[in-house]
Amino acid sequence: MFDEKKMKATFDQVHASDALLTEVLEMMPNNTNQHIHKPHRIARTLLIAAVLLCVLAGTVTAAVSGAVRVNGDIAGIMDSWFGSSGDYASGSAIVKYDEWGKLSMNIPAWSRESLDMDVAERLVASYLYTLEGNTVTKGGFTYTIHAILYDSNTGAVMVCWSVENPNGLGEYGLSPNGEVFLLEGSAMRWVVGGRNYLDTVNSTDTKLYISSFGVASDDELWARFGVCNDPENGKYAKEFDEQKIILPRSDRGGMKALTFNDNITVSPVAIRFDALEESADLEELIIAYTDGSEYVVFSDSTFVDNTTYGVDSSQGYVTYSFNRIVDVDKVSAIVVNGEVYAVN
């Protein structure tokens, strides 16, 4: 998928033009034919205005019908998203180098916390939903969506789903932090969210329960499930038999949320920063509670990351989903790069 060799081969194809080299060499005073290349330019503000119009037009997208109530183990589902019952509840930072001395694994330390069901029921449980026709069967694999959580305030999406095959699931990969992924040679085929974590409490040899985390754009939400008929060709296989299903967005509205500085939104499940400069660095985020305790969401200096997913959008917003539920009724402040934003 991504390696140093492929990176070199790719950017080896990027060259300065012969004309540019000629112009550079002609800059020397002894050259008589000097001229400087200057491309046509337009005002940057015009570009920004155009982008804003596109974004605003996209927000017209309406909620999709088809959401139905979850008839399952809601406590178990929320524990898999926000609790600490699984095998990957916490871990130290993992830094590994490959045989060429290049960084091959770089996972910050993380720590999950026990789910407080009272808080979960008060702030989150009623927002869970699933969809009609929530099962896809392909090539012996049965994929089932059990629950979806969509937070309209931040765009964060969580999906609880499973894949089952009585004859065995074949190959898949598992990171030290519980992140599960497909390998070259995997017969399973799925695309859900941005990161997927194995729910080790409920999974068996023939059935995996997976927690997926993503961030919705203005487009429709979807997932794809299927089978790879050409597993020998791995991730570049062309022979997929898969089905795309549209995930409805609940019209339940947004969860209770806090707003700071007009551009930071904190919900019980995620945080969103809007209108950030592209060069802005989010190096540390801490949520402080009224009882004096703290949730270190991430910290570059201590190499800690207690998020389940993060999106740094080229549209100027950044969203991180939490690995625990934040009781927004008890937040006293958030601290971003050392700057304190108190709850009013």
The binder of another protein chosen from 32, 167, 236, 291 (CB under 8 A): 236
> Is the distance from CB of 146 to CB of 77 less than 8 angstroms?
yes
The binder of another protein chosen from 28, 69, 167, 204 (CB under 8 A): 28
- Residue 23 in the binding site for another protein (CB under 8 A): yes
Is the Cβ of residue 193 or residue 268 nearer to another protein in the bound state?
193
- Residue 32 in the binding site for another protein (CB under 8 A): no
Which region, judged by CB under 8 A, interacts with another protein, from 24-32, 80-88, 123-131, 263-271?
24-32
Stretch 252-291 residues interacting with another protein (CB under 8 A): 278-279, 281, 283
- Residue 246 in the binding site for another protein (CB under 8 A): no
Round to whole Å and give the CA distance between 255 and 80.
Answer: 19
* Minimum gap (Å) between residue 174 Cβ and another protein: 15
DSSP H or E stretch at residue 212: strand 207-215
Residues 6+ positions from 239 with CB-CB distance below 8 Å: 228, 229, 230, 233
Is the Cβ of residue 130 or residue 308 nearer to another protein in the bound state?
308
Is the Cβ of residue 289 or residue 303 nearer to another protein in the bound state?
303
User: Side chain identity at 38, as an amino acid letter?
Assistant: K
Stretch 193-222 residues interacting with another protein (CB under 8 A): 194-195
- Residue 339 in the binding site for another protein (CB under 8 A): no
- Residue 69 in the binding site for another protein (CB under 8 A): no
Q: With CB under 8 A, what is the number of residues at the site for another protein?
A: 57
DSSP H or E stretch at residue 260: strand 258-260
Round to whole Å and give the CA distance between 119 and 154.
Answer: 19
- What would the two tokens of residue 268 be? 């019980």
> Is the distance from CB of 318 to CB of 215 less than 8 angstroms?
no
> What number of other Cβ atoms are within 10 A of residue 51's Cβ?
13
Strands 264-266 and 258-260: antiparallel
The binder of another protein chosen from 107, 174, 333, 335 (CB under 8 A): 107
> Is the distance from CB of 318 to CB of 273 less than 8 angstroms?
yes
CA-based nearest residue to 225, from 309, 130, 144: 144
* Minimum gap (Å) between residue 42 Cβ and another protein: 5
Is the Cβ of residue 27 or residue 201 nearer to another protein in the bound state?
27
> Is the distance from CB of 224 to CB of 190 less than 8 angstroms?
yes
Round to whole Å and give the CA distance between 198 and 196.
Answer: 7
- Site of tokens 């916390």: 113
- Residue 33 in the binding site for another protein (CB under 8 A): no
Is the Cβ of residue 38 or residue 69 nearer to another protein in the bound state?
38
> How buried is 128 (Cβ within 10 angstroms: 0-12 exposed, 13-18 middle, 19+ buried)?
buried
- Residue 96 in the binding site for another protein (CB under 8 A): no
Which region, judged by CB under 8 A, interacts with another protein, from 12-20, 81-89, 111-119, 249-257?
12-20
* Minimum gap (Å) between residue 37 Cβ and another protein: 6
- Residue 56 in the binding site for another protein (CB under 8 A): no
Round to whole Å and give the CA distance between 65 and 152.
Answer: 15
Interaction mask 309-328, another protein, x per CB under 8 A: -x-xxx--------------
Round to whole Å and give the CA distance between 84 and 111.
Answer: 8
Q: Which residues bind another protein (CB under 8 A)?
A: 1-2, 4, 6-11, 13-17, 20-21, 23-25, 27-28, 30, 36-45, 47, 95, 102-103, 106-108, 191, 194-195, 224, 235-236, 238, 278-279, 281, 283, 300-301, 303, 310, 312-314
